[in-house]
Structure 1
Amino acid sequence: MLELKSKEHIKGIRKAGRIVAACHKAIAGRIAPGVTTQEIDRFVERFMLDRGATPAQKGYKGYPFATCASVNDVVCHGFPDSVPLEAGDIVTIDMVADVDGWKADSAWTYALGRTTAAADKLMKATMLALMEGIQHAYPGRRLGDVGHAVQTRALREGFQVVTSFVGHGIGRQIHEHPTVEHRGEPGTGVILEEGMVITIEPILTAGRDDVYIAHDGWTARTRDGAWSAQFEHTVAITKEGPVILTRWE
Structure 2
Amino acid sequence: MPKDSNGHLVAGRVSPTRFVPRQIVRPEYVGKPGPSRFTGSDIYGAEAVGRIRESGRIAAEAIAVVGASIRAGITTDSLDAIGHDYMVANGSYPSTLGYRGFPKSLCSSVNEVICHGIPDDTVLEDGDIVNIDITAYKNG
Deviations 1:178-230 (A, max 9, x none): xxxxxxxxxxxxxxxxxxxxxxxxxxxxxxxxxxxxxxxxxxxxxxxxxxxxx
**Structure-2 residue corresponding to 1:85:** 124
> Counterpart of 1:57 in structure 2: which amino acid?
T
Give the gaps of 5 or more residues in structure 2.
1-38
From 47, 51, 54, give the equivalent of 1:8.
47
Q: Which residue of 2 is the match for residue 65 of structure 1? A: 104
RMSD value, Cα: 1.1
Distance (Å, rounded) in 1 between the aligned partners of 2:58 and 2:94:
11
Could you tell me how far apart the structure 1 residues matched to 2:67 and 2:102 are?
24
Deviation at 1:8, TM superposition (A): 2.1
Q: Deviations over 1:66-124 (max 9, x none)?
A: 111100111101111111101111111111101001xxxxxxxxxxxxxxxxxxxxxxx
What CA distance in whole angstroms lies between the structure 2 residues aligned with 1:25 and 1:96? 13
Q: Work out which of the residue numbers 74, 85, 108 in structure 2 matches 1:35.
A: 74
The higher-RCO structure (CA 8 Å, 6+ apart) is 2
Give the drift of 1:27: 1.5
Q: When the two structures are superposed, what TM-score results if normalisation uses the length of structure 1?
A: 0.39
| 2:65 matched residue in structure 1 | 26
Distance 2:61 2:95 in 1: 16
Please give the residue correspondences for 1:67-146 in structure 2 after superposition, counting only pairs within 5 Å: 67-101=106-140
Report SS of the residue matched to 1:70.
strand
Q: Residue type of the partner of 2:81?
A: R
User: TM-score normalised to the size of structure 2?
Assistant: 0.69
Question: In the TM superposition, what are the counterparts of 1:155-174 in structure 2 within 5 Å?
Answer: none
Question: One-letter code of the match for 1:47?
Answer: Y
> For this pair of structures, how many residues does the alignment match?
101
Q: Point out where structure 1 has 5 or more consecutive residues left out of the alignment.
A: 102-249
Structure 2 counterpart of 1:50, one-letter code: A
List structure 1 runs of 4+ shifted beyond 2 angstroms: none
Report the structure, 1 or 2, having the larger strand content: 1
Contact 2:65–2:82 at 8 Å: present in 1 too? no
Percent identity over paired residues: 39
In structure 2, what residue type is equivalent to 1:61? R
Q: Name 1:48's counterpart in structure 2.
A: 87
Q: CA deviation at 1:3?
A: 1.7
Give 3-state SS (helix, strand or coil) of 2:120's partner: coil
